[in-house]
Structure 1
């Protein structure tokens, strides 16, 4: 299971502690405010929301998984103990520019050791600094769409400007720059973390764990191939998808009948179609998969296409393993791959390295 999880106080205790800003609970839990999409420390001094608008989390990382973005008042990414100035300076930059990106090589030029900052974030939040930046970019974009009513979906998702400035700039977007279609985005809870689901008019086109390392890249590829833009909204496919995913995790479903939209190259589509033929509770190696598509020398290419699969669980790439039985190559994390294989066949993973 995700190591960031830990026991929480009761909901009543957490609610009262947040409303009263009880100091002894600082960093004991975190609060997500549904109406604003923001994440807060338990002692944050912002105006308190209604009790129905509160979500409680064991760590900031888990809250990021669920789409919340850090409050700029209480700075939940800064622990209650002494935080180094170089960390504070970096997070100040992120606060001022939610689209902030910086490579490890650029950190080194600023005399900041990338390994040092990686260790600090892993110690305090069980997430890398680059992983946090990715979460912040994605969650801020969807947050703009959900909570700033002045912005059009297209403007909110693609802008890098402050919200007020974009609102003032309305009407400056050319019609031919608008996407041809929209992809509704929602989150589906599972026992191993939330899934980010996307759907257009024809079916499900995205189903990924929210902390997948390449999620941001996959979203950009999906937008480009479908000439589409994402927005946080509803789809008639989401209710059925959530129902079937819940049935899968409760052991009541072995197959899915949701329409899928999988834009890709002919080779990628061939590989993805081959993955769907692996039965529930069974496994296949990358070599066996390449033989199945009559391209036995394309083992590496098959592995790359597996990695580009944007429909987790339903296109079950977790059932593809290394030739030596190693659990390798799963974007959602190897601990999830093991969980899914054991869910489908408890005796299966005993052979794995």
Structure 2
């Protein structure tokens, strides 16, 4: 599982080489244009720092990216289902249209056939794909300070209540509440251990978790509640700084992080998290030792709960805590990742010691 996914460097090399072997295996989302492409796209290549690689079309659309008009990543090169081709052409001509089942019936399509064809190729229905295109455009307009009614009409919603419900589902807040309001920005960062979700503002990191962590949806919900801020797809300078720091970390060049972390949690939790950050890379501790570090020797269970409440993976290194007997204990990102991180940091520490003695 660890080595099945190519690194961003490998995927970027494939993008520059226009390697058709990666078509359908990965897609590149370009942050500067908000467009996603095949890796074999003939268009001018973006800078590495402007590239986010996704496994499938659904992930690209859900992140708010539009399909490239040159390489047309929604279409297969061969044996394209004529129903899929025709509907994708229609969607490309009218991306803001609010498609309904009645529209498909009126055009002579069988609903179950359309649903199966799109699910098989994209993992989502045609109506779901059309909805993501509309909402992504509307959310972008709102975040730029546009009027609610303009965004509503651009998204193709005749009903104001229907539009508000759709935006609520995407970013958790009514459109009127977005006007003039700073949003938290969420985006994916690819790592050798799988994609991580990073949620930031213009100044600090609020959440960093592996995408397949079971508790991630609840953590996002709690973040919305505690911060009282909406979350939209996007990146800030903090995201770029974090991505660069993680790249150095995973390459073994640097185990330190200079990314500012937002001040969430109780005073006790922040004490525990600060103690975690004070553990040198390459070393581990136990819950009881961690409790001793903050002068709360009898609060071992509370320390364990605070450790589990941490939602900044790697930077606040809860993976460095082991059981009293030295065994691996629970880790939200999976025990295999915990073992990998500990071994990786031990190698980094060993490499630094070797270099220092030369």
TM-score range, shorter chain: 0.5 to 0.7
Distance 1:17 1:251 in 2: 27
Q: What residue is the counterpart of 1:289 in the other structure?
A: 290
Q: What residue is the counterpart of 1:229 in the other structure?
A: 230
Distance 2:317 2:20 in 1: 40
Deviations 1:92-116 (A, max 9, x none): 9974997xxxxxxxxxxxxxxxxxx
Q: What residue is the counterpart of 2:65 in the other structure?
A: none
Distance 1:293 1:233 in 2: 37
Distance 1:64 1:299 in 2: 43
SS of residue matched to 1:337: helix
Compared with structure 1, are the counterparts of its residues 13 and 165 closer, same or farther at alpha carbon in structure 2 (3 Å cutoff)?
closer
Distance 2:293 2:155 in 1: 55
C-alpha deviation, 1:346, in angstroms: 3.7
Deviations 1:188-247 (A, max 9, x none): 222212222121133111211122111111111111111111122231222222222111
Residues 1:152 and 2:131 aligned together: no
Compared with structure 1, are the counterparts of its residues 301 and 167 closer, same or farther at alpha carbon in structure 2 (3 Å cutoff)?
farther
Q: What residue is the counterpart of 2:106 in the other structure?
A: none
TM-score by length of 1: 0.59
Residues 1:334 and 2:325 aligned together: no
Distance 1:275 1:66 in 2: 36
**Would the aligned equivalents of 1:181 and 1:227 in 2 still touch at CA under 8 Å?**
no
Compared with structure 1, are the counterparts of its residues 16 and 235 closer, same or farther at alpha carbon in structure 2 (3 Å cutoff)?
closer
Distance 2:183 2:314 in 1: 24
Q: What residue is the counterpart of 1:2 in the other structure?
A: 2
**Would the aligned equivalents of 1:145 and 1:153 in 2 still touch at CA under 8 Å?**
no
Residues 1:255 and 2:237 aligned together: no
Compared with structure 1, are the counterparts of its residues 176 and 65 closer, same or farther at alpha carbon in structure 2 (3 Å cutoff)?
closer
C-alpha deviation, 1:295, in angstroms: 2.6
TM-score by length of 2: 0.58
Deviations 1:290-328 (A, max 9, x none): 222233333232222212211111111111111122212
Residues 1:169 and 2:174 aligned together: no
Q: What residue is the counterpart of 1:302 in the other structure?
A: 303
- Comparing both structures, which one devotes a greater share of its residues to helix? 2
Compared with structure 1, are the counterparts of its residues 246 and 150 closer, same or farther at alpha carbon in structure 2 (3 Å cutoff)?
closer
Residues 1:187 and 2:188 aligned together: yes
Compared with structure 1, are the counterparts of its residues 253 and 347 closer, same or farther at alpha carbon in structure 2 (3 Å cutoff)?
closer
Distance 1:233 1:165 in 2: 23
Distance 2:155 2:176 in 1: 22
Q: Counterparts of 1:20-99 in structure 2 under 5 Å?
A: 30=25, 32=27, 34=29, 63=55, 67-68=59-60, 95=125
**Would the aligned equivalents of 1:31 and 1:39 in 2 still touch at CA under 8 Å?**
no
Distance 1:319 1:17 in 2: 36
Compared with structure 1, are the counterparts of its residues 150 and 303 closer, same or farther at alpha carbon in structure 2 (3 Å cutoff)?
closer
C-alpha deviation, 1:178, in angstroms: 6.9
5+ residue gaps, structure 2, are 46-53, 63-73, 75-82, 86-115, 145-151, 165-173, 350-358
SS of residue matched to 1:279: coil
Compared with structure 1, are the counterparts of its residues 273 and 5 closer, same or farther at alpha carbon in structure 2 (3 Å cutoff)?
same
**Would the aligned equivalents of 1:275 and 1:317 in 2 still touch at CA under 8 Å?**
yes
SS of residue matched to 2:183: strand
Compared with structure 1, are the counterparts of its residues 177 and 30 closer, same or farther at alpha carbon in structure 2 (3 Å cutoff)?
closer
